[in-house]
Chains A and B, each alone.
Chain A
Amino acid sequence: NAGVTQTPKFQVLKTGQSMTLQCAQDMNHEYMSWYRQDPGMGLRLIHYSVGAGITDQGEVPNGYNVSRSTTEDFPLRLLSAAPSQTSVYFCASSYLRQGNEQFFGPGTRLTVL
């Protein structure tokens, strides 16, 4: 099992550009989520999904879109990048059952100039 994979590992964008961060898991997990990690802020939930075709907003969804067309994939789209979106982004997945932990990807470090 590859677990949770994320691409790219690093990305530099200019203000106003768009891009998609990729996330995939091979564990047949129902639940997938995106977080951003900023110094002193811990992890903040951007969007999450409880299954294919179902997505919902987390704490900081503005400026980001998601879709879940398959169980395996959960891409995060930045529509028009802003310097405030400079962060480290983590994708995570889990079974949707009490007691089951989330598995995290290695992260994408994004810089918006």
Chain B
Amino acid sequence: GNSVTQMEGPVTLSEEAFLTINCTYTATGYPSLFWYVQYPGEGLQLLLKATKADDKGSNKGFEATYRKETTSFHLEKGSVQVSDSAVYFCALYSNTGNQFYFGTGTSLTVIP
């Protein structure tokens, strides 16, 4: 079956610290992988994506690389800002199930 396992939170970092949020998946076929971000009181919005092995998605200083050998899609940012405080969701889409599968979300708080 298809599933996403995401690093438990909450995560609290100081401004300019390095961020890693771990995400691993199980999937049949060749899924697409996504990171979404949810700011307080809002819906989810796409942060970045990768559609095949070894692809790197990047946006707003965040990066994640699709690693088929370790079935992982870890989110990284070199220097976080207070404005990055949000909940981050890892997700996959598999066309063998016609569904998107989401992790449980990781809450990030960045303190000045």
Contact = CB atoms under 8 A, between A and B. Distances in A.
Interface of A: 4, 31, 33, 35, 40-43, 45, 48, 50, 56, 58, 90, 92, 94, 96, 98-107
A98 B95 contact: yes
Point out which of A4, A35, A41, A98 has the most chain B C-beta atoms below 10 A from its C-beta: A98
Nearest to A107: B43
Interface string B7-34: 0000000000000000000000010101
Interface string B43-71: 11110010100000000000000000000
A106 B103 contact: no
Given A56-B98, A101-B34, 12 more contacts: A4-B43, A31-B98, A40-B104, A48-B98, A50-B98, A90-B43, A98-B30, A99-B32, A99-B49, A102-B44, A107-B42, A107-B43
Contacts of B105: 42-43
A97 B56 CA distance: 19
Contact of B44 (A50, A90, A94): A90
Interface string B84-107: 000001000101001110111100
